[in-house]
Amino acid sequence: MGDQDELNALDVSGEWIWGNDLEMIVYAQAYGQGQTLIFRFTINPEAKSSLATRIVNCYHDRTVDNEFHTFPDRPSMRSPLWLAVATVWVECSECVDIADLDVIIDVYDFKPGELPKVQWALFQDPLFNDYVELLSSPGQLSFGKSVSTVDLKDLVRLQQLGGRGSHIYVQIDFRTFLFDYESGHIKEDIQYYYKSLNLLANMPPHPNIMKPAQILVTVSRSGDDRPIVCGSLYPFLQNGTFASHIQMNKAQWCYEMASAIAHTHLVAHTYHMDIKPGNFRLDDNNNLVLIDWEQNDALVTTAAPEVDGTWDVEQTGEGETSTLQYKEYSGPKRRNMPLTTPGDKGWNTWNVFLEWSKSCPIALELAEVFSLGPSMWMLLEQTDMEVFDDVENAEEVVVNWKSSDDISESWKETVRKCLQVDPNDRIGSTELVAFWDCERRKLRSGQVLGGQEKLLD
């Protein structure tokens, strides 16, 4: 038995559960039958044993004076929560006003008799206007060319994406706002989202970097028809990640990974920050495309050790004699990230990408070459990403070659050159592109030659 059996029987799936900072509310989002709905459970001090109060007490781990005023743990809380959503779904989903973007469904229960009865009520949340106030109009975004728009209400969400006509919807939605508005981090979420839109719109195109948004998705304030940008549509890369297509394409994909990074630094003169296998998707021709351009966080398992916020760098010398000099910072605490930035990694406080992109771009290029090292190793070894769930820093990632019978020593050595602790010893992105270009061409020639020899036989 699963905790969503009753909900799934309605062809509906529970997607998210989260709480507010004041620990008085628990939200739940579910999707099904073409609708995405947000439900709210609010604590009631006058009804300590009510379902909503018990859910809030359990989720927020609030202190209670009676075990019947909470649940033993979150798993035991989820089943009655989703059962309550299933109980009211059919009736409330047919309500005329349910399509309004500011609507939340309050879920509560009372006891007129022996058994509690789950009830619901539509609530037009005034926070929706606060959410829209933080967004920008299409004209306020720095797009190099005109982009079409579509109203969010006109979008149809598909449970199973498929076909060449489908699109991926990237958004700062009302759920994101409700999750982050109390901490203030929502302003950063929006800032990074718009930054990624502008970055891709103005970046020179490259076949292994995702294309700019084709369509902007908009909402409007209550009583105001002017469109405000809340999301964007991109072509659906229906072949997904490269995990299931690896065996025949390793050299080609390593080349495309390196090519995307070289273009980012040497042509677009910017950076990505979050290089990892999951941020490379496959297009219709099984070519890699680098996605996720918010430039606001990094993955500890692929981040270069020098980007942890404790180092400063300067370039000395010129040309072939040029070197990078790193010095460990020993001054007072410093911060160039907003106080509301979540996370406990060094770059969540002092983000060297912001500094070095201006003062020493070559240091960032070599840092992202390092990130390509574990990414390429994971690709070549077909490593399961789940083995890194407990990794706290990049130094804990041990690159070994347990499944390396089909991996040449030159490939392994190139990955090792990416992973050098001293950035001055790492391979450059141009040299890395050249190596993998040569390797993929040799493989192609070998495949053609092999075919010819077979025909001659």
Final residue in a domain of this structure, among 124, 143, 172: 124
Q: What is the CATH number of the domain that holds 363?
A: 1.10.510.10
The reported pLDDT for the residue numbered 312 is: 97
Mean pLDDT, range 210-216, rounded to an integer: 86
Considering the chain, what is the average pLDDT of its residues? 84
Each residue's pLDDT tens digit, 146-195: 678 888 877 766 543 333 344 455 678 788 888 877 778 888 888 888 88
Identity of the highest mean pLDDT range in 194-208, 353-367, 379-393: 353-367
Among 202-211, 236-245, 254-263, the minimum mean pLDDT is found in 236-245
What would the two tokens of residue 361 be?
A: 């771009």
The reported pLDDT for the residue numbered 138 is: 85
Mean pLDDT, range 295-303, rounded to an integer: 91
The reported pLDDT for the residue numbered 409 is: 85
Could you tell me the pLDDT band of residue 337, with boundaries at 50, 70 and 90? very high
What would the two tokens of residue 10 be?
A: 């309605």
Pairing of strands 288-290, 280-282: antiparallel
Final residue in a domain of this structure, among 236, 266, 288: 236
The reported pLDDT for the residue numbered 166 is: 45
Q: Domain range holding 86?
A: 5-124
Spatial distance between the Cα atoms of 35 and 157, rounded to a whole number of angstroms: 8
The reported pLDDT for the residue numbered 164 is: 36
Spatial distance between the Cα atoms of 380 and 342, rounded to a whole number of angstroms: 33
Cβ-contact 38, 29 below 8 angstroms: yes
**Do residues 292 and 436 both lie within one domain?**
yes
The reported pLDDT for the residue numbered 333 is: 94
Could you tell me the pLDDT band of residue 219, with boundaries at 50, 70 and 90? confident
Instruction: Provide Rg for the chain, Cα atoms.
Output: 26
What would the two tokens of residue 204 be?
A: 């020179």
Helix (H, G, I), strand (E, B) or coil at 190: helix
Spatial distance between the Cα atoms of 262 and 355, rounded to a whole number of angstroms: 20
Cβ-contact 13, 6 below 8 angstroms: no
Spatial distance between the Cα atoms of 163 and 392, rounded to a whole number of angstroms: 39
**Do residues 248 and 382 both lie within one domain?**
yes
The reported pLDDT for the residue numbered 387 is: 53
Only one residue has tokens 């990078």, namely 324
Spatial distance between the Cα atoms of 230 and 172, rounded to a whole number of angstroms: 6
Spatial distance between the Cα atoms of 143 and 134, rounded to a whole number of angstroms: 19
Instruction: Kindly tell me if the per-residue pLDDT of 123 is higher than 80.
Output: yes
Spatial distance between the Cα atoms of 54 and 71, rounded to a whole number of angstroms: 6
**Do residues 328 and 437 both lie within one domain?**
yes
User: Dihedral angle at the C-alpha atoms of 305, 307, 309, 314, nearest 10 degrees?
Assistant: 110
The reported pLDDT for the residue numbered 87 is: 93
Please name which of 281, 283, 268, 259 lies closest in space to residue 372, comparing C-alpha atoms.
259
Each residue's pLDDT tens digit, 409-428: 889 999 999 999 999 999 99
Please name which of 237, 302, 233, 238 lies closest in space to residue 272, comparing C-alpha atoms.
302
What would the two tokens of residue 103 be?
A: 């609507």
How long a stretch of residues is the chain? 457
68-83 in b/e form (b: 16+ CB < 10 A) is ebbbeeeeebbbbbbb
**Do residues 323 and 209 both lie within one domain?**
no
Please name which of 343, 13, 7, 29 lies closest in space to residue 179, comparing C-alpha atoms.
29
**Do residues 230 and 256 both lie within one domain?**
no
The reported pLDDT for the residue numbered 451 is: 34
Spatial distance between the Cα atoms of 332 and 323, rounded to a whole number of angstroms: 27
Instruction: Kindly tell me if the per-residue pLDDT of 397 is higher than 70.
Output: no
**Do residues 391 and 310 both lie within one domain?**
yes
Spatial distance between the Cα atoms of 53 and 340, rounded to a whole number of angstroms: 29
Spatial distance between the Cα atoms of 216 and 238, rounded to a whole number of angstroms: 21
**Do residues 337 and 295 both lie within one domain?**
yes
Instruction: Kindly tell me if the per-residue pLDDT of 77 is higher than 80.
Output: yes
**Do residues 104 and 166 both lie within one domain?**
no
Spatial distance between the Cα atoms of 188 and 338, rounded to a whole number of angstroms: 8
**Do residues 274 and 346 both lie within one domain?**
yes
The reported pLDDT for the residue numbered 212 is: 87
Instruction: Kindly tell me if the per-residue pLDDT of 298 is higher than 80.
Output: yes
**Do residues 59 and 181 both lie within one domain?**
no
Among 42-51, 180-189, 196-205, 383-392, the minimum mean pLDDT is found in 383-392
**Do residues 232 and 286 both lie within one domain?**
no
**Do residues 261 and 375 both lie within one domain?**
yes
Could you tell me the pLDDT band of residue 130, with boundaries at 50, 70 and 90? confident
Each residue's pLDDT tens digit, 339-356: 989 888 999 999 999 999
Higher-pLDDT residue of 161, 37:
37
Please give the DSSP secondary-structure letter assigned to residue 209.
Answer: B
Final residue in a domain of this structure, among 124, 148, 181: 124
Instruction: Kindly tell me if the per-residue pLDDT of 114 is higher than 60.
Output: no
Spatial distance between the Cα atoms of 415 and 304, rounded to a whole number of angstroms: 14
Each residue's pLDDT tens digit, 244-278: 445 458 899 999 999 999 999 999 999 999 999 88
State the total domains in the chain: 3
Cβ-contact 289, 210 below 8 angstroms: yes
Higher-pLDDT residue of 61, 101:
61
Could you tell me the pLDDT band of residue 395, with boundaries at 50, 70 and 90? low
Cβ-contact 33, 11 below 8 angstroms: yes
